[in-house]
A and B are shown apart, each in its own frame.
Chain A
């Protein structure tokens, strides 16, 4: 999997060279970089960044501000004093640790199942010949277009009748199969030379061995992409968990966040303190493992 867009802070000197697959200079300025244009672009980039970052900055400020500070009518972009009161209030009034644990557990289990299931299916669709494979692939892919809201009523009944309601599995199982994951896996595994697989088979490797000894080691970047995409999606998932998790002690962070907002009303300090617990870990993970997220998203757009 070549990186369509690599995280790179390329400088002007490297930007002039044309390197396939890496950040390349914008053609407009590759010959005679105009100073005015350069400054104008920089200013524009800073302004856009400010628009993106300001709401996040404000979330942090509000989470760290006292209630009185927030209710004042005057405009203040910097808190008068920092306090952790909001965090203490949230942690003492709600089972935050439980909700955090629920989110971690559900996200990890969904990611693990989703990666496993997608890799297996992706390998079969890419490298194995069996009757109806292209038809089944299209069937799997077509579910990409289906909004969960179309099936939420019967899905809820199904989950209730299967006695999954009231357990983590009510969220895990319906979200574990990923059409996108299968699609991505197939595309990636198609690039593994068939000769390599045939050679292993001639040497007497069984199908499962071929998969574990040849395909999996070659698919590490794919696995990372699938894992992080699934983790991000499940960590932030809202519509289905809102329906499937009615018991307070099973809430994930987004559902807990909505519940807490309902209780706190206009106590924005408390709501934002809790929102930070939902947002913070994923933003850090996203920035640290940016490469994999970016590849996942970018790949979703290329062929």
Chain B
């Protein structure tokens, strides 16, 4: 009896390993091995795709004095601190709207999430089309209502703003969807009780809705920050980092170094910096969070 049970459990663990193997092999070969390799390359001076030469921390030292790197870091951080709160606030606002008494809510919800189905490249090209400063519809609209046209492409700040606006258009639907799911899990009796106690609409939003969608906010915060740190498609296609690095972010700069100028060691070092930034943020967020964790 015992031996057959032991045999069964041994068979079970063998099956377990066999079942997780395909996934783990793929992850190991195509994620973990390259990750270790990236660390190694970041300590090397590379020339094209030949073997590198170890130069210690030189690539990292170079980061410290590279103005384009700092510009890209500042842009990445600025992008993150704007996109994250704004897309979350808009997402929550629209979710509350769509969770209220409204005709054709299903239709409205479908419209809000359509951008989620569109590729980053297509989104960015639609952005280029709309924001083109010579033929774009947006400047034509601005002029037609008596406002001055904006140089969305040649002006640094305007180009950055156009990237932000396109990103928000693309991402708000996702934030809305997560919040809508969170809102629909809230027990309505809480609102009834608050109303009986004389809480105003704003107070109910501020002291009931906002805390009750806390888990969704927590999740979205992490996801939006991680997305923003890694933003690539929209920037790369819309502006390519220009004009004069005004919209350059860490990932586009790393791509330029790795695959345009062929300075792969330096590109790997920028990647490591990005990874460190992501880890640091995640750690701080896990540490300070009092909400439940994502895994269990």
A44 at the interface (CB under 8 A from B): yes
- Please, how many angstroms separate the alpha-carbon atoms of A156 and B264 in the complex? 11
Q: Are B274 and A147 in contact (CB under 8 A)?
A: yes
Q: Are A173 and B108 in contact (CB under 8 A)?
A: no
Q: Are B33 and A149 in contact (CB under 8 A)?
A: no
Contacts A23-B105, A120-B22 given; does A5 touch B258 at CB 8 Å: no
CB distance from A217 to the nearest CB of B (A): 17
Q: Are A26 and B99 in contact (CB under 8 A)?
A: yes
CB distance from B118 to the nearest CB of A (A): 5
Q: Residue-by-residue, is A258-281 near B (CB-CB < 8 Å gives 1, otherwise 0)?
A: 100100001010011001001100
Q: Are A152 and B258 in contact (CB under 8 A)?
A: yes
Q: Are B275 and A150 in contact (CB under 8 A)?
A: yes
A1-56 with Cβ < 8 A to chain B: 4-5, 7-12, 15, 18, 21-31, 33, 38, 41-42, 44-45, 48-49, 51-53, 55-56
A245 at the interface (CB under 8 A from B): no
Contacts A70-B135, A154-B34, A297-B177 given; does A147 touch B17 at CB 8 Å: no
Contacts A75-B143, A149-B251 given; does A55 touch B230 at CB 8 Å: no
- Please, how many angstroms separate the alpha-carbon atoms of A287 and B278 in the complex? 33
Interface-forming stretch among A87-95, A133-141, A218-226? A133-141
Q: Are A153 and B264 in contact (CB under 8 A)?
A: yes
CB distance from B73 to the nearest CB of A (A): 14
Q: Are B101 and A58 in contact (CB under 8 A)?
A: no
- Please, how many angstroms separate the alpha-carbon atoms of A285 and B23 in the complex? 27
Interface-forming stretch among B8-16, B64-72, B79-87, B154-162? B8-16
A-side contacts of B117, CB under 8 Å: 232, 279, 282-283, 285-287, 293
Which of B96, B101, B125, B180 interacts with A12 by CB under 8 Å?
Answer: B101
A302 at the interface (CB under 8 A from B): yes
CB distance from B292 to the nearest CB of A (A): 7
B-side contacts of A25, CB under 8 Å: 100-101, 188
Interface range on chain B (Cβ under 8 Å from partner): 35 or more
Q: Are A121 and B19 in contact (CB under 8 A)?
A: yes
CB distance from A52 to the nearest CB of B (A): 6
Contacts A294-B177, A301-B181, A303-B294 given; does A128 touch B12 at CB 8 Å: yes
- Please, how many angstroms separate the alpha-carbon atoms of A238 and B274 in the complex? 19
Q: Are A27 and B137 in contact (CB under 8 A)?
A: no
Q: Residue-by-residue, is A124-151 near B (CB-CB < 8 Å gives 1, otherwise 0)?
A: 1100111101001011110101110111
Q: Are B192 and A131 in contact (CB under 8 A)?
A: no
- Please, how many angstroms separate the alpha-carbon atoms of A26 and B130 in the complex? 36
Q: Are B97 and A236 in contact (CB under 8 A)?
A: no
Interface size on A, residues (CB 8 A): 118
CB distance from A109 to the nearest CB of B (A): 13
B144 at the interface (CB under 8 A from A): yes
Q: Are A5 and B184 in contact (CB under 8 A)?
A: yes
Q: Are B101 and A38 in contact (CB under 8 A)?
A: yes
B141 at the interface (CB under 8 A from A): yes
Q: Are A301 and B271 in contact (CB under 8 A)?
A: no
- Please, how many angstroms separate the alpha-carbon atoms of A130 and B27 in the complex? 19
Contacts A28-B191, A283-B118, A290-B110 given; does A301 touch B216 at CB 8 Å: yes
A200 at the interface (CB under 8 A from B): no
B63 at the interface (CB under 8 A from A): no
- Please, how many angstroms separate the alpha-carbon atoms of A113 and B45 in the complex? 37
Q: Are A235 and B119 in contact (CB under 8 A)?
A: yes
A160 at the interface (CB under 8 A from B): yes
- Please, how many angstroms separate the alpha-carbon atoms of A24 and B101 in the complex? 9
B207 at the interface (CB under 8 A from A): no
- Please, how many angstroms separate the alpha-carbon atoms of A56 and B38 in the complex? 40
CB distance from B207 to the nearest CB of A (A): 13
Q: Are A154 and B121 in contact (CB under 8 A)?
A: no
Contacts A140-B24, A150-B272, A155-B34 given; does A271 touch B258 at CB 8 Å: no
- Interchain Cβ contacts under 8 Å between A and B, 10 examples: A9-B103, A25-B100, A30-B101, A49-B108, A51-B169, A52-B115, A145-B279, A154-B41, A297-B177, A301-B177
Identify the A interface with B (CB < 8 A). Answer: 4-5, 7-12, 15, 18, 21-31, 33, 38, 41-42, 44-45, 48-49, 51-53, 55-56, 58-59, 62, 70-71, 73-75, 77, 116-118, 120-121, 123-125, 128-131, 133, 136, 138-141, 143, 145-147, 149-158, 160, 173-174, 176-177, 179, 182, 207, 211, 232, 235-239, 243, 253-255, 257-258, 261, 266, 268, 271-272, 275, 278-279, 282-283, 285-287, 290, 293-294, 297-298, 300-303
